[in-house]
Amino acid sequence: MWLHTLCKNITLVQGSEGGPSIQDPRHSKPSQESDGTWLRSGVFLRWRQPAVGHDDSGEVDMIIFGPTVPLQRNFECLINRPEWRQALEDPFSLLVVVMDDLHRQVDEARAKLHEALRSAEN
């Protein structure tokens, strides 16, 4: 299974009129392969269930391209807890961690946009 996520990267700076304003997060001209105004990531998840009659729990492969730092921390915390074994029985539960991070990204973008627009309205 492939999952691609895309979230707008909103960077606020103190505007000349005293309130926050949205600034392009790119410090220099981006290459064609990279655009700092978007937070992009991709997730590949493969689950091979055990053969009938075998006691093993199968195999789970998960690769994340372009993970955010909070997402990396969340998976590091999961690895250090005994609950990680549940992922072998229900690998799609790992997607909850990914979707929680996407929700965090969207919520942060919403809050920044709200702050900039509220300032502009006053």
Per-residue pLDDT of the chain (122 residues; tens, 9 = 90+): 899 988 888 888 887 777 787 777 666 554 455 556 788 899 999 988 877 777 666 788 999 999 999 999 999 998 888 888 888 788 888 999 999 999 999 999 899 888 888 877 76
What does DSSP say about strands 38-48 and 2-8: parallel, antiparallel, or unpaired?
A: antiparallel
Give the separation between CA 57 and CA 64, rounded to whole angstroms.
22
Residue written as token pair 């990396």 = 72
Q: Are 46 and 64 in contact (CB under 8 A)?
A: no
Query: What tokens does 79 get?
Result: 């690895």
> Of 70, 4, 7, 73, which Cα lies nearest the Cα of 36?
7
